[in-house]
A and B are shown apart, each in its own frame.
Chain A
Amino acid sequence: MEDLIKKIKSRLHLRPEAEEFLYSISKEKTLSKGEVLIRQGQTVKKTFFVTSGCLRSYCIDKNGKEHTLLFAIKDWWISDYIAIHTDELSTLTVECLTESKVIEFNAKELDGIHARFPEFESYQRHNLERHVVSLHKRILNQLQLSAAERYDLFLKQYPDIEQHTRNFHIASYLGITQQSLSRIRVEKVKK
């Protein structure tokens, strides 16, 4: 939690009562590999800040296949924001790919923090903008880049991730088959 507080303090003046409030709506958790934090089809009330390890959010299509939306490593947030903001059941599953440490927040309370502590307004807006930028980049990359280029970008974004993930996780994040991923890797080695 100290790391997150430090991050927040680097961006705004955090009053002691705001810090106390953050502690009151959060819980630090150590999770084991394979643990599921959010399950498709359930109500979502929590959001998670990752302090170590690696998590993955994915949807399951009607044929039962998984499609990875994102990986969350240290300093990333992860949840099903569609479910939180629409009050619908989760369309995503969030699971731990390694033993991980997270700080769990009640999403609605965290969302409403700026009502009590207005200094959080610009902080939250900034976070949201960064999130939108990252999503737009992901969509545009998906539309215009080759699979090999997307894989290169993926490795830059998540430098150490390959030790934590299975090939099918990465292939399903990039929207390619596992064979294509293997081919791209072979080509990379040749270069």
Chain B
Amino acid sequence: MKALQIIKYGEIKDSLAFNEVSKPTVQANDVLIEVKAAAINPIDKSIILGNLQGMLPIPLPSTSAYDVSGIVVETGNEVSNFEIGDLVYSRVPQEQMGTLAEFVAVTSDAVSKKPGNISFEEAASLPLAGLTALQSLEYAGIKENDKVLIHAGSGGVGSFAIQYAKAKGAYVYTTTSTNNVQWVKELGADRVIDYKTEDYKSIAKDVDIVFDTLGQNYSLESFEVVKTAGKVVSVVGPLDEASAKMFGMADYKLPEELAEASSEKNVEYKFIFMHPNGAHLNEIKSMIEDEKIKPIVDKVYPFSESIQAFIHLASGRAKGKIVIKIH
């Protein structure tokens, strides 16, 4: 079968190639998905550039991408929750990475039926960003009337998080640049802060939850705007100590300033590792079918133009997700 593979680390245009590879074999708990559409995410770009070699060592060549929608064409012996012909979507686990291919085998625990009211392309845009947002805000215990600051509202994760937080009844502040203010408002954010002309710290004050999708100085600044005993959840900032321990970094300490700020305000800081989860995708399916959340697709590329799709992703200018149509 045809697959878009990472052949070396480096510049996108030099590091990707279409290869003929063997069709994946199905383990007892796997389903084989005929891929209809795959979506690409910033992490896919970082892997290609070689920025994650330490954290996510992958053998080269490897097929790229994690997000997929398609049709189940084969099931492993122990799969009981899916049948051939089911229309599904998934964020595949690390060890099964490779959705930019005609077929992908995925453990059935990471798969859900796709929402019935949207296309394959829209469905493929959801899993990674949706799971990241859902798991982060769920960890933070989001509830009705909470004030939540979501950074980068126009990003894949941010645009989902705004809609998810609104569906939970929260009051949402979000930051974005001038060009994106209008469409981010349309996602339902209560107060869209144009970071080019406004200081978000003087607008979003004493919030219950900060969802940090930017990292760097934004992680520390989160403690200036969060209320006492609030929560800061981050998907890009420094690891928290418990998460670091899970990765075998027993001596890891939270950066000093962050630790101080966290203890001064009695605010929990948590780094969220998105984990593939079929049950969470099923929850997202219901929210999509009830139109509490809408998929935001910037552009759909044909499979043959996947490399251009990655170049578009790398430009950082996409409003919503970039999707690649496979079949």
A interface with B by C-beta (< 8 Å) = 36, 39-42, 58, 60, 63-66, 166-168, 171-172, 178-179
Contact = CB atoms under 8 A, between A and B. Distances in A.
B83 interface: yes
Q: How would you classify the secondary structure of chain A's contact residues: helix, strand, loop or mixed?
A: mixed
A64 B85 contact: no
A42 B69 CA distance: 21
B87 A172 contact: no
Interface in B107-137: 114, 116-121, 123
Nearest to A34: B113
Nearest to B121: A63
Contacts of B291: 167-168, 178-179
Task: Choose among A41, A60, A65, A179 the residue with the greatest number of B CB atoms under 10 Å from its CB.
Answer: A65
Contacts of A178: 117, 291
28 contacts: A39-B83, A39-B85, A40-B85, A41-B85, A42-B85, A58-B116, A60-B87, A60-B116, A63-B119, A63-B121, A64-B69, A64-B87, A64-B114, A64-B118, A64-B119, A64-B120, A64-B123, A65-B117, A65-B119, A66-B116, A66-B117, A166-B289, A166-B290, A167-B290, A168-B116, A168-B289, A171-B117, A179-B291
**Residues of B in contact with A, size category:** 10 to 19
A172 B85 contact: no
Interface in B269-309: 289-291
B227 interface: no
B36 interface: yes
Nearest to A41: B85
Contacts of B117: 65-66, 168, 171-172, 178
A42 B85 CA distance: 9
A15 B239 CA distance: 78
Give the 8 A-B residue pairs with the shortest CB-CB distance, closest first: A66-B116, A64-B120, A63-B119, A168-B117, A39-B85, A41-B85, A178-B291, A168-B289
A63 B295 CA distance: 15
Contacts of B119: 63-65
B253 to A, nearest CB: 48
Contacts of B86: 39
Nearest to A93: B85
Contacts of B118: 64-65
Contacts of B69: 64
A42 B118 CA distance: 23
A179 B290 CA distance: 11
Contacts of B116: 58, 60, 65-66, 168, 172
B120 A63 contact: yes
Given A64-B118, A166-B290, 15 more contacts: A36-B83, A39-B83, A40-B85, A42-B85, A60-B116, A63-B120, A64-B114, A64-B119, A64-B120, A66-B117, A167-B290, A168-B117, A168-B290, A172-B116, A178-B291
Interface in B74-88: 83, 85-87
A113 B15 CA distance: 67
Task: Choose among B36, B83, B117, B290 the residue with the greatest number of A CB atoms under 10 Å from its CB.
Answer: B117
Contacts of B87: 60, 64
B31 to A, nearest CB: 15
Contacts of B290: 166-168
A150 B129 CA distance: 38
B36 A64 contact: yes
A143 to B, nearest CB: 24
Nearest to A64: B120
Interface string B87-115: 10000000000000000000000000010
Nearest to A67: B116
Contacts of B36: 64
A171 to B, nearest CB: 8
A91 B157 CA distance: 36
Nearest to B83: A39
A167 B87 CA distance: 20
A64 B123 CA distance: 9
Nearest to A60: B87
A65 B117 CA distance: 5
B138 to A, nearest CB: 23
A169 to B, nearest CB: 8
B241 to A, nearest CB: 42
A63 B86 CA distance: 14
A58 B289 CA distance: 15
Nearest to A90: B85
A58 B117 CA distance: 12
B122 to A, nearest CB: 8
